[in-house]
Amino acid sequence: MNKDKVRKTALHTIDVVGIKIDTRHYIGGQRVASAEAFTNTSPIDGSFLGDICRGTQKEADLAVAAAKAAFPAWAALGPKGRGELLLRLAELVEENIETLAQLETMDNGSLLRSHRRGVMPRVAMNIRFFAEWAINELQHPDFETRGHTNKISWDPSGVAVLITPWNAPLMLATWKIGPALAAGDTVILKPAEWTPLSASFFADLTKQAGIPDGVFNVVQGFGKEIGAALVAHADIARISFTGSVPTAKVIARSAADNLTPVSFELGGKSPCVVLEDADIDLAVELAVEQYDNAGQVCLSGTRILVHESIADAFALKFKEKALQIIQGDPRDEATQIGPQIHQVHFDRVKGFVDRAKESGANIIMGGEPNSDLGGLYFRPTLVMNPDPTSEIVTSEVFGPVLCLQTFKTDEEAIAMANSTEFGLAAILVTGNKERAERVAKQLVAGTIWVNCFFVRDLRAPFGGSKKSGIGREGGNWSFDFYADVKNTVVSPNGWKE
């Protein structure tokens, strides 16, 4: 039984900070109600936001049928025809940035100022980038084989199911929506049940943009119910999921029955490696930045590995800076980190820290809920030199909890950095370019930042190594997944004209 309260009915429209949100699914261009609903609350203060329609096999079948029916005409539009509509959608997002920012902050507790200035503009950028890439960049030069011409093309593949997380709901969803629609696929989006609101509002924007009915659909509910129904459906051509490793394994088993291609962006336990020649102030700044979004960032460098010769000075400066972090209501301009997303997740984060305490870990900062704020606010926490085999080091906590460990040599640092089952990202801080190149080459991760963090370009491949994922997103890599890549070989012989 899901721990979220389940209700029998839902109002069709709710008011969230003055914004009208339809609580029903969006299927085939129409709003579709469900027999049951689930409760949605704000992590900011636990306030009730509304009851959201809870989808089952019935709604999954309706969404797949609608998307399948809409596919041929959408595919036939071609990149330019689709691009015109997607560019209009990007404009509508830009016109509604304040509305989307307010809505997302209430629903997932991230900073309002970040949503206004960075996250929601990025939503529009995601859509515009992939629409324009399909028109202008998605191409491969013809090449000859014994006088025969090879022509590479990217054909729409069918219905894509996109299952997205709660930590940056609409931004992470449009990383998938943008390329899937631009490639000519039709889409069924299943947002996280803790943060369904921005997806519903976005569906209305697709309608306003003139996206044909059935091309974009939104279904709401729990992963074990409607999510499971979608990924097991025989008429699905692609499944893209961002979330946890255990859930990905369940999806992969279902997808295997139909040989449905999958793309997974999964967990991380990324290292932040600080060599002894690093600019220590820069290193501290980058390390403290890992508390961003209250630690609910898959890319965060939560394992801070510092050369033993500078560890004491680093720890002192780190603690001094981290203690200045302002935690509070994410709607306040001065706030730097907000709450955890949900009581279930808060309890999970607290459980990791409590067990670390019980095992004798040296927690030099935080380590407890913020009693001044109450609710779902957990203090930024630093664990010093924990047991390298302990779960606080090896498992993804996904909260404001960092570990600081020391090393003696570059080789030891590399071994420690690569020691978990994850390989999503890594941060390397050093003052020597040759050393940076040598060490970075040996780090196992999909993205490595040297003397920086969270610099993302949609032209670059994004994804994880080891259990941090399957596949890459960005540029042609996204289209390689959402499309069927075709090679047409044309002979010089047999032509009559």
Determine the Cα–Cα distance for residues 424 and 456; give it in Å rounded to an integer.
14
Question: Which residue matches tokens 């009581």?
Answer: 343
53, 272, 298, 403: the catalytic one is: 298
H or E stretch at 230: helix 228-231
Question: Which residue matches tokens 């972090």?
Answer: 325
Task: Record the tokens describing residue 22, joined without a space.
Answer: 């339809």
Determine the Cα–Cα distance for residues 479 and 467; give it in Å rounded to an integer.
22
Q: Alpha carbon 137 to chain centroid distance?
A: 24
DSSP code per residue over 348-373: HHHHHHHHHHHTT-EEEE--SB-TTT
Residue 53 falls in the annotated catalytic set:
no
Q: What are phi and psi of 264, to 5 degrees?
A: -125, 130
Q: Which amino acid is at 339?
A: P
Determine the Cα–Cα distance for residues 14 and 6; give it in Å rounded to an integer.
17
Instruction: Give the strand pairing for 303-307 and 401-407.
Output: parallel
Determine the Cα–Cα distance for residues 397 and 244; give it in Å rounded to an integer.
11
Determine the Cα–Cα distance for residues 106 and 195; give it in Å rounded to an integer.
9
For residue 384, give every residue at least 6 positions away whose Cβ sits within 8 Å of its Cβ, in sequence order, or none: 315, 361, 362, 363, 364, 403, 404
Question: Which residue matches tokens 């003055």?
Answer: 18
225, 265, 396, 473: the catalytic one is: 265
Contact (CB, 8 A) for 431 and 277: yes
Helix %, strand %, coil % for the chain, to 5?
A: 40, 25, 35
Residue 265 falls in the annotated catalytic set:
yes
Task: Record the tokens describing residue 423, joined without a space.
Answer: 């390989």
Q: Indicate which residues carry an active-site annotation.
A: 265, 298
